[in-house]
Amino acid sequence: MRLPDLSCALLVSTALVAGCAQTDTMKTAHSTPWAAYGTPVTEQELAAWNIDVRTPDGRGLPAGSGTVAAGKKLYDAQCIACHGEAAKGGSMYGSMVGGIGSFTTDKRVLTPGSMYPYAPILFDYIKRAMPLTAPQSLSDDEVYAITAYLLNLNGLVADNATLDAASLAAVKMPNRAGFIVDDRPDTHAARCMTDCQPLRTPPPPAAK
Ligand code: HEC
């Protein structure tokens, strides 16, 4: 398969846009190999981009595992500068612990522990986006370990927990039932896949 030329135009990261200007195959600072214009992309290269996780049941979570203790070491080395001691809030971001149950009060505290409906969201977020300065630089074992540490700080897994794909998907998040389907009438839209009506565009504003 070949990457369509448009793919570069769609990328927003400046590092990757710089990569688009290169003609030969190159790697970004990022661990995922980057394809060049006109060169076929191998299945192996595609696999490196295919990291999405179906968060309700964890489908797509990779092999590997990590402990709370290993996660604390990694956190203290790579996350503490921005997120603070024991994830209580740091120079760049507020607390990532606690707030559980606060949604029924008038002072909501949003943290992964209080907000996320499914635990694999935390793995997926860290794996694709953190540390902010070097996203996708952590191994899967490291992401499992840090995920275990953050869930432990939130009281959701034991101090001696080891998380892998199955045990992470099995963690019951306290806010799992806290999301409601948006049932306002203006959000109802039947999906059309064939012979669809043209989109209705609003009339132009009346001249003043
Ligand atoms: C250079 C600063 C920086 C470093 C280092 C960093 N983060 Fe972050 N992190 C941020 C910022 C900023 C955000 C908010 C991003 C946003 O809202 O788009 C964030 C958001 C997060 C969130 C989402 C929190 C939520 O409430 O949903 C998690 C989880 C997270 N970081 C984990 C980590 C982990 C784990 C590490 C270490 C491997 C790490 N971060 C390292 C700056 C950093």
Q: Where in the chain is the domain with CATH 1.10.760.10?
A: 65-169
Cα three-residue angle 129-135-138, rounded to 5 degrees: 105
What is the chain's alpha carbon radius of gyration, rounded to the nearest angstrom?
A: 21
Q: At 141, list the tokens.
A: 């074992």
Q: At 134, list the tokens.
A: 């070097």
- Report, as an integer, the average pLDDT of 52-62: 96
144 or 203, which is more confident: 144
The answer to whether the beta carbons of residues 131 and 143 sit under 8 Å apart is: no
pLDDT of residue 15 exceeding 90, the answer is: no
128-176 pLDDT tens trace = 999 999 999 999 999 999 999 999 999 999 999 999 999 999 999 999 9
pLDDT of residue 46 exceeding 60, the answer is: yes
Q: At 56, list the tokens.
A: 């309700």
Amino acid 40: pLDDT: 87
The answer to whether the beta carbons of residues 96 and 112 sit under 8 Å apart is: yes
Ligand 1 centre distance from Cα of residue 104 (Å): 26
From CA 140, how far away is CA 124, in angstroms rounded?
10
**How would CATH label the architecture of 65-169?**
Orthogonal Bundle (1.10)
16-32 pLDDT tens trace = 434 334 333 334 444 55
Of 183, 178, 54, nearest in space to 117 by CA: 178
CB of residue 130 inside a 6 A radius of ligand 1:
yes
CB of residue 145 inside a 6 A radius of ligand 1:
no
Amino acid 34: pLDDT: 66
The answer to whether the beta carbons of residues 34 and 27 sit under 8 Å apart is: yes
Ligand 1 centre distance from Cα of residue 189 (Å): 35
Average pLDDT, the chain: 84
The answer to whether the beta carbons of residues 140 and 126 sit under 8 Å apart is: no
CB of residue 133 inside a 6 A radius of ligand 1:
yes
